[in-house]
């Protein structure tokens, strides 16, 4: 069964510094996608970045990059040059292919606070 | 608007009453999901619809919960005989594809409070 684990309930980072949010996953399916979402205090879910299991390079989207280590089954999110507006809850999620196509499972989330 | 629309945004009900929550996905999106999020917690998968396939109901917590999707578009999540533990934000999401590559677009949620 698919499983997503985020072991950091809360993180602090100084403004303008980089921060890494950890995510590990477990699946026996060779085809899967990994996603990161941001949820600010307003409650909306904002898609940040996607990494496919067959992608050769780590995904990047502006200040967000995904450190994908397939053998270790980890998909850590790196936020560079943190901004006050990055303070939010961050969720890692996974969708499997194969017989369980489409179901997206979320981790428990990491609350990030950016300090001025 | 062009996003996922959910209604009502807030619902307060008495224990034992039935409630219906509505989701209008982005036009053309074949996949539709319902999640539940309790305060400060992660998203709990409830149910997933993909095209004309049988829905994946594996996340529904009890037989008091049901959902349908009419005409491949609008979906309704029904909770019968509500309990206080049903209080949560119910999030709907849609995706243009049902495979493992498509991102989900979320609505703003329906906040349910059961007194």
pLDDT tens for B29-57 read 989 999 999 987 889 999 999 888 889 89
Q: What is the DSSP string of B1-35?
A: --S-EEE-SEEEE-TT--EEEEEE--TT--EEEEE
CA dihedral A111, B59, B55, A26 (to 10 degrees): 60
B25 pLDDT more than 90? yes
Q: Which residues of B touch A109 (CB under 8 A)?
A: 41-42
Count of all residues that appear for chain A in the document: 116
User: Whose CA is closest to A75, among A54, A98, A59?
Assistant: A59
pLDDT for B68 beyond 90: yes
B28 pLDDT higher than 70 = yes
| C-alpha to C-alpha distance for B52 and B60, rounded to whole angstroms | 19
The pLDDT, as a whole number, for residue A104 is 84
Q: How far is A75 from chain B (nearest CA, A)?
A: 15
Intra-chain end-to-end CA distance of chain B, in Å: 32
Which of B48, B50, B91 lies at the smallest CB-CB distance from A45? B91
Predicted pLDDT at B42: 87
| Average pLDDT of span B66-82 | 94
Tally of residues, chain B: 115
Mean per-residue pLDDT of chain A: 92
pLDDT of residue B2: 81
Whether B13 and B82 have beta carbons less than 8 Å apart is answered as: yes
Q: How far is CA A19 from CA A10, A27, B91, B105, in A?
A: 12, 26, 28, 25
Q: Greater confidence, B22 or B104?
A: B22
Percent of chain B with pLDDT over 90: 72
Binning pLDDT at 50, 70 and 90, where does residue A97 land? Answer: confident
Which pLDDT does position B1 carry in this prediction?
A: 55
pLDDT at B79 over 90: yes
Q: What is the separation of C-alpha A97 from the centre of its chain, rounded to a whole number of angstroms?
A: 19
Interface of B with A (CB under 8 A): 31, 33, 35, 41-43, 45, 48, 50, 56, 58, 89, 91, 93, 95, 98-106, 108-109
| pLDDT at residue B94 is higher than 80 | yes
pLDDT digits (tens, 9 = 90+) for A13-69: 999 999 999 999 999 888 899 999 999 998 899 999 999 999 999 999 999 999 999
Does residue A114 surpass a pLDDT of 60?
yes
């Amino acid at each position: 069964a698919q499983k997503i684990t985020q072991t950091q309930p809360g993180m602090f980072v100084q403004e303008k510094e980089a921060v890494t949010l950890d995510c590990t996953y477990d699946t026996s399916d060779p085809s899967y996608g990994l996603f990161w979402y941001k949820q600010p205090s307003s409650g909306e879910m904002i898609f940040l970045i996607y990494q496919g299991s067959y992608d050769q390079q780590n995904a990047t989207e502006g200040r967000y990059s995904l450190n994908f280590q397939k053998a270790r089954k980890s998909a850590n999110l790196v936020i560079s040059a943190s901004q006050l507006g990055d303070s939010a809850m961050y969720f890692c999620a996974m969708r499997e292919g194969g017989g369980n196509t489409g179901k997206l499972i979320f981790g428990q989330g990491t609350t990030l606070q950016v300090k001025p | 608007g062009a996003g996922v629309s959910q209604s009502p945004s807030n619902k307060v009900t008495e224990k034992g009453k039935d409630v219906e929550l509505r989701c209008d996905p982005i036009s053309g999106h074949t996949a539709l999901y319902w999640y539940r999020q309790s305060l400060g917690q992660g998203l709990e998968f409830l149910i997933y619809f993909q095209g004309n396939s049988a829905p994946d109901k594996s996340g529904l917590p009890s037989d008091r919960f049901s959902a349908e999707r009419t005409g491949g578009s609008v979906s309704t999540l029904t909770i019968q005989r509500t309990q206080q533990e049903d209080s949560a934000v119910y999030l709907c999401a849609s995706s243009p594809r049902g495979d493992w590559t498509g991102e989900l677009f979320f609505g703003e949620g329906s906040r349910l409070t059961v007194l």
